[in-house]
Amino acid sequence: MPTKRQLPTARLRRLAREMRRLRSEAGLTREEIAASTAINQATLYRLEYAKGRPQKRTLLTLLKEYGVEESQREAILALSSQADEQGWLRPYHADLPDELVGYISFESEARSVRNYESLFIPGLLQTEDYARAVIRGVLPTVTAMEVEQRVQARIERQSVFEKDQPLELWAIVDEAALRRVVGNPKIMAEQLDHLVKVAAEPHVTLQVIPFGGGAHPGMLGGFVVMDFPDPDDPQLAYTETASGELFLEADEDIRRCGQSFDHLRALALSPGHSASLITSMARELV
């Protein structure tokens, strides 16, 4: 039986950040903690960087070492007990890449997502046929079963719009992503019509950067910035590169992504003009 993976959640990140803060305020290094508690440095590193949820006895030992008062200790223990709750998890997710499952986890907990894409329709706005065609095109060596698993995961992600507090999505798409015919003209026309329909929802804002907009920061590649409901949960950025997917947590990286998104938002067509442009593109395909 495969080993159960510790999958990331916003609460696990919050716990990790809190444990780093407590150790820092206590003026202790990981080496000193390892020497005084017999908790090895690898375990401490995993705990402080959300690589795993600590056992209760380990957490209690550390909180005592850091001089944490009882009321705060109980709050941290409660946070730890909830750190790996994942109501979004499906059995077949075990077969998906860790980076993809991690992304799904964070997205399911986010309050808002800012997403820029230069070559693809954003995943939360894709139709099933478009998703299937784009996954087959981008990953030509995966099996038919793997394609269907990824398609199912992508469509299920869109349930974030059906929650009592729907995810707020602000998506900016380069015109190139809309002009590229993925699958065939019929699939692409249906995808464009779907974009216009979804963009009319109050929790979705969609803008297009036209070819006439010239060079812009988004030409470096797509990225996502997530905000979470609890103010104690730090923002998270995500980007995909030729060498793999990256989660960005450093303040400077997140600030840079936020500034780029603001620049793109100012450069893009208004939501109304964007919808008109997408509608005209769909008509050209039928």
The 10s digit of each residue's pLDDT in 88-140 is 545 545 567 777 777 888 898 899 999 999 999 999 999 999 999 999 999 99
pLDDT at 213 over 70: yes
For the whole model, what pTM was predicted?
0.77
pLDDT in tens, 25-37: 889 889 988 888 8
pLDDT in tens, 156-205: 999 999 999 999 999 999 999 999 999 999 999 999 999 999 999 999 99
One-character DSSP codes across 248-263: E-SHHHHHHHHHHHHH
Alpha carbon distance 59, 64 (integer Å): 9
Which is nearest to 32 in space by CA: 41, 42, 19?
41
Domains 10-81 and 91-285 share a fold: no
Task: Read off the tokens for 109.
Answer: 């907990």
Q: Which fold has domain 10-81?
A: 434 Repressor (Amino-terminal Domain) (1.10.260)
Q: Which fold has domain 91-285?
A: Endonuclease; Chain A (3.30.870)
**Confidence class for position 85, pLDDT limits 50, 70, 90:** low
* Contact between 119 and 177 (Cβ < 8 Å): yes
pLDDT, mean of residues 213-225 = 93
Report the percent of the chain where pLDDT is more than 90. Answer: 54
Alpha carbon distance 46, 29 (integer Å): 15
pLDDT at 233 over 90: no
The domain locations on the chain are 10-81, 91-285
Alpha carbon distance 150, 131 (integer Å): 9
